[in-house]
Structure 1
Amino acid sequence: MANPKRRHSHARGAKRRTHYKLEVPGLSRCTHCGAMVLPHRACPVCGYYKKRKYEAAITAPTANE
C-alpha cells in the first residue's frame, strides 16, 4: 500500500475538509395543512400526501404515557 512521502500541513488538510458539511433538507409546504414536510413523504401533522390521507397523524406522547 502506498504511504505519503511527505507530511501534509494542517492548512492542506483543512482545505480538503471544507467540503465536509451538512446539507439543509429541501422542505416544502403541505398542500393540506401548510406544515413543512420532506418531499415524497406524508405530512407528519395531518397524514396527507398528494391530497390523499395515507396514515394517522403522528401525535406527541402525553405525560400519562
Structure 2
Amino acid sequence: MTARTARALGQQPKAISMLAERLPPRTASTLGVVGVLAFLLGVLVGRLTTEDIRRRWH
C-alpha cells in the first residue's frame, strides 16, 4: 500500500507539469490570480494587525 501511494504521489507533479506545458496561458492566469489574492490577503492582515494610521502620524 505504501509503494502504491508513493507511486501515485510521484505521478501528480508530472501530471501538473504536463498540463502546464499544454496550457501556458491558463497556467499564467492562474498563477497571476493566486498572486493577486495572496497580496490582497497580506494587505488585509496587515491592516487588521496595525494601529489606527492617523494615530501613528500625529
Please indicate the TM-score interval, normalised by the length of the shorter structure.
0.3 to 0.5
Select the structure with the greater relative contact order (CA < 8 A; seq sep ≥ 6). 1
Decide which structure has the larger Cα Rg and report it: 1
From the two aligned structures, give the one with the greater helix fraction. Answer: 2
Provide the TM-score with structure 2 as the length reference.
0.36
